[in-house]
Chains A and B, each alone.
Chain A
Amino acid sequence: MSWMLKIENVSKMYRLGMIDSSTIQDDLKAFYYKLRGKENPFLKIGEENKRDTEGGDYVWALKNINLEIEKGEILGIVGKNGAGKSTLLKLLSKVTKPSQGTIRSRGRIASLLEVGTGFHSELSGRDNIYLNGAILGMSKREITSKLDEIIDFSGCGRYIDTPVKRYSSGMYVRLAFAVAAHLDPEILVVDEVLAVGDVEFQKKAIGKMKHISREGGRTVLFVSHNLKSIKSLCSKAILLKNGMLDFYGNCSDTIDKYLETDLKENNFLDKEIGNKNFKFNFIGLKSQNKTYQNPIIRIDQTELVLEYENLSDFKKIHFTIKLKGVDDNIFLTTISPENFISERKGKVKMQLPKGYFNEGDFLLDIYVIRDKSISILGFENIIGFSVIAEEINIGEYSGTEKGYSRQAMTWIKEY
């Protein structure tokens, strides 16, 4: 019973496209359903929010989010652009309402989606402290009692009666954050705001947030693309993916998971990845005699390059490689020879036949298997790459043919 914030089945739908005379039809239809006491019909046709696939006009920016956040916890929120992070924060800060579901909080939620909301460039720093503070929900008396502290924290004491339009951008941000940092809500929601300041300011801001949660027992929700600041600040984190809650766990696990999924678009991975038994230093797929360019040309001969380190005493190790389309259908499973990996450290190549891939996007899974039975390491979607057509002569068929592979086969003329 120690939750401070409880998110239950929260979903948010957005309509895509322009607002014009066609939207009014949908509005009238929804209104007609409502008059008859039925549910909005458009809530049923919403689709998962995948940006690159085509579909209807209605998408779920968030779908069925369930979450409980405890008192004093700092929760990080990570996810790619468009995963729903900002939408979630908007719902929490009451800027817009969820389409379905409820959010309960034990205490006031204050949100900091932007530093200096409502700052007026003609007003002095002091006036803006009052205005911004009041917008964020403080009373005049509260602000007056904290005024000296705020000015002190901002480090703008000398300029406090100068219009903020004369401020440097750094001072502006510091002043704005100083106001927000002295809010006293039970729950604080913070978006990317730290990205704008310099290093010193970021350190100060992170320190302040830690202080708020530790000393004050406040709950903080924090979004950032800067994984370092998430790591240093948050105890737990969630990963959002296409509007859904993909992973919830302690901070470093979530970040690992995030990096994993985020690497999809890269046709090589130049970093250490693995566990206590085995690790890869490099995984990449490229055209032979070329650099790691993405996309890959259809008629090229491709090769998979692996650099690894065997940290265990297992001798009989082989790799299993699975290739699949972005629709998650595996179309090839191939295994390396046994006893192939004898050295502690090594680099191997797997050559694919010339012209193996058809046009399209592909993903690769890799597993490290010992004794032909037990997987000691495995990554799904560890790399991804695109294959495009070569330059086609004018007059020849240049359309797309279906299928994952376009490999040339051996043809024999019988008679």
Chain B
Amino acid sequence: MNEVSISEDTIKTIVEKYHGEKSALISILQDVQKEYAFLPKDALSLLSEEMEVPLSRVYEVSTFYNSFSLVPRGRHVIEVCAGTACHVKGGPKLRSRLEAELNIECGETTEDRMFTLEEVRCLGCCSLAPVVKIDSDIYAYLEEDKIPGSLENYRKERRQSGEN
């Protein structure tokens, strides 16, 4: 499942964009993740060779930061805000409801690869708590009971676009 074909040229282009600077490793990994929606193993090996940085260090950085994922993620990434204001205003309830609706734990991806559920450390819209971000859309003042409908909208969109 985790196999994707890595284009050597793509990786090289990304590395060249930063002139192979070792200090740009984080930005380079961000670009690679943008390309493949996660960090494929082969891409990391290739990066290590191209940048002449030990694979162990590439791995260290990829696993240290929360925004990197070593496993493929779903088509839609749902981020539940775990900021203090959201916690106080019912964020944990949203999280449980999402876990129940999607039948996965936070940090996992649904079997059909539609959704990945993650917790995020404060999105900085504390005034709109509790919030959930799906892809780049922020849902403000979200109520638990609105969750099934919102998820259904994404599923419907998918069915309408007729993709497999």
B is a partner of A: no
Interfacial residues, chain A to chain B (CB-CB below 8 A) = none
